[in-house]
Structure 1
Amino acid sequence: MAPQIRPLTPELQKVAIEQLKEDPDRLEADLLAFRTWIEQQPHLNPRTDDQYLVAFLRGCKYSLERAKSKLDKFYTLKTKYPEFFRVTSTTDGKFREIHQTGAIIYMPTPLNENGPRIGIWRMGLVPVEKYSILECMQVAQALQEIAILEDDYANINGIVFIMDMQGATAAHLFQMTPSMAKKFTVFSEEALPLRIKGQHFINTITGFEQIFNMFKPMMSKKMQSRLFVHGNKMELLTEQIPLKYLPVEYGGENGTVPEIVANWEKKLDDYSEFFKDNANYGTDESLRQGKPIDFDGLFGSEGSFRKLNVD
């Protein structure tokens, strides 16, 4: 039976073949091998539809062993830390209120028309006295999970993020504890199938350097090389992300924030049952074959932290 996967545009298919080692003639066999392994893991209960699984293969450049590891950690971390990584409702009040601020958005047109998806997080739009960083991360997690399912640009070419701190305060930054930073870093690098191709920081504020210096050593050397701090120099950002690919509110041509939010509001409605169903997927560590997960070793005890490898 042919895989139930959206056909890629010719441009994206070329990238998938040349950069991700995708072989359309082998796709059915690759998915079968992946699914067969999943069925042999009594502890693991993931989604197994073709479109979902191919995102993990693409995110790992068709290394089956790495795809197995990512999928396992994706569901292990969702189960172990549901308040961080498992979104089961996109309709509750605070979730929608945060989303409607336009603080966390994905641009409709990817970079250079056919490149990575562009995400923007405008931290200062979310009142720190009303919403926690974890509540904001739930919104970000939901948008990422939808991108895994339906965004071919993000799956093939990855994502570039812009963190805009205009209007933020030190109180926003210091919600992020070292323990939280470790969890988000591990999830991003070792579990998420979307490859982060760049992280840009603009309009940085007092206190940023302290948080930045906490995060950076936790990242792989490759990911560290993809961090760009531009201060308040917008021209440094637009050297890498041309202005036209930013929202109208930034002087760009890539839609207005209210339009983008409205489109995603409908999408979140459409996916409400999908997220409710997330409660049915995960891991049962009591059934894991071999050694149990060493969470102290993964996240570090007494302040230590294991170095990560990312491709």
Structure 2
Amino acid sequence: MPPHIRPISEELQIKAKDYLNEVPERIEADLEALKTWIDQQPHLNPRTDDQFLIAFLRGCKYSLERTKAKLDRFYTLRTKYPELFNITNVDDPKLRRLIMCNINRPIVYLPKLFNGVRLGIFRLGVVPADQYNIYEVMQVGQVMQEITLIEDDYAIINGVIVIMDMSGATASHLFQMTPGLAKKMTAFSEEALPMRPKAQHFINTITGFETVFNMFKPMMSKKQQGRLFVHSKIDSLLEQVPLEYLPKEYGGQNGSLEESIAEWSTKFDAYREYFKENAKYGTDEKLRPGKPIDFDTIFGTEGSFRKLNVD
């Protein structure tokens, strides 16, 4: 039975072959091998539709062993920390207010690609720190990441660049980013999520940012550390991401934040049932064969935090 995945453009297929080791004629067999392994895991109950699973294969450059590990950790972390990683109700009142707060939505992806790479903007400062905590803000990001995982072939194959604009952020925003949360977010991003982070740019940084930045950075792999860029002025950002690829609110030509937010609000509605179904999937550690994943050690609650590895 042929795999049920979206066809991709010839240009994107070349990228998938050259950089991700994708062989179109072998996709069906690769998916079947992964599903066979899933069937043999009594503790693991993941989504198994082809479009979902191919994102993990592509994110792991078709290494079956790495794909197994990433898929397992994806659901293990979601089961262990559902309040952060496994959102099942996009109609939750607080989440909905963040989703629907129009121009003040903190996270948005932009329509126009930059060299085939998806661009995202994260504006923490637009969220009132006395009304929302950082967990609630991150939940919006988790919903957007999962939708992107399902439907954005460019983000999966070519990657994502995130611009973190600190304008309007305060010490109250920064104090909410605890070492424990930082470790969870870093572990999920590097060890569980099959996205391709190409770069993260920080602009308009505020007093206290360096402390938080220096807390995050050592937790990342050396490769990911090399993809972090701090810009004292937007001019240095524009040397890497030309102005035309930024939204019009920044003087660019990549749509407007308001338009992008409206489009994503529609997506949240369209995926309402999908996220409800997330409650069915996860892991049962009592049924896990062999030694359990020791995430407490990874997070540093016992002993020192170990550096994460990402390809």
Shift of 1:90: 1.2
Residues 1:309 and 2:309 aligned together: yes
Alpha-carbon distance in 1 for matches of 2:302, 2:69: 26
8 Å CA contact retained: 1:35, 1:48: yes
Alpha-carbon distance in 2 for matches of 1:309, 1:68: 15
- Structure 1: unaligned runs, 5 residues or longer: none
- In structure 2, which of residues 113, 121, 134 is the aligned counterpart of residue 110 of structure 1? 113
3-state SS in 2 of match to 1:213: helix
Residues 1:253 and 2:253 aligned together: yes
Alpha-carbon distance in 2 for matches of 1:223, 1:217: 10
Shift of 1:302: 4.8
Q: Which amino acid aligns with 2:137?
A: C
Q: Which amino acid aligns with 1:74?
A: F
Alpha-carbon distance in 2 for matches of 1:305, 1:190: 14
Moved more, 181-190 or 294-303: 294-303
Q: Which amino acid aligns with 2:4?
A: Q
Residues 41-52 of structure 1: matches in 2 within 5 Å? 41-52=41-52
Identity of aligned residues (%): 66
TM-score by length of 1: 0.97
CA offsets 1:100-148 (integer angstroms, 9 cap, x no match): 3232000011113xx2111110111000000010000000000000001
Q: Report the counterpart of residue 293 of structure 2 in structure 1.
A: 293
Q: Report the counterpart of residue 281 of structure 2 in structure 1.
A: 281
Q: Report the counterpart of residue 178 of structure 1 in structure 2.
A: 179
Shift of 1:11: 1.1
CA offsets 1:286-308 (integer angstroms, 9 cap, x no match): 00000122122221235610111
8 Å CA contact retained: 1:102, 1:258: no
3-state SS in 2 of match to 1:263: helix
Q: Which amino acid aligns with 2:277?
A: D
Residues 86-235 of structure 1: matches in 2 within 5 Å? 86-99=86-99, 100=101, 101-112=104-115, 115-231=116-232, 233-235=233-235
8 Å CA contact retained: 1:190, 1:310: yes
Alpha-carbon distance in 1 for matches of 2:288, 2:305: 24
8 Å CA contact retained: 1:90, 1:272: yes
Q: Which amino acid aligns with 1:309?
A: N
3-state SS in 2 of match to 1:2: coil
3-state SS in 1 of match to 2:8: coil
CA offsets 1:11-66 (integer angstroms, 9 cap, x no match): 11110011101000000000000010000000000000000000000000111100
CA offsets 1:158-186 (integer angstroms, 9 cap, x no match): 11111100011011011010011000000
Q: Which amino acid aligns with 1:132?
A: N
Alpha-carbon distance in 1 for matches of 2:223, 2:146: 24
Q: Which amino acid aligns with 1:200?
A: H
8 Å CA contact retained: 2:105, 2:127: no
Shift of 1:92: 2.2
Q: Report the counterpart of residue 78 of structure 2 in structure 1.
A: 78
Residues 1:16 and 2:19 aligned together: no
Alpha-carbon distance in 1 for matches of 2:216, 2:190: 13
Alpha-carbon distance in 2 for matches of 1:134, 1:102: 15
TM-score by length of 2: 0.97
Alpha-carbon distance in 1 for matches of 2:183, 2:106: 23
Q: Which amino acid aligns with 1:177?
A: T
Alpha-carbon distance in 2 for matches of 1:308, 1:92: 33
Q: Which amino acid aligns with 1:30?
A: D
Shift of 1:155: 0.6
8 Å CA contact retained: 2:297, 2:303: no
Q: Which amino acid aligns with 1:12?
A: L
Q: Structure 1 residue runs of 4+, over 4 Å off?
A: none
- Structure 2: unaligned runs, 5 residues or longer: none
Structure-2 change in CA distance of 1:118 and 1:303 (3 Å): farther
Q: Which amino acid aligns with 1:235?
A: D
Shift of 1:96: 2.2
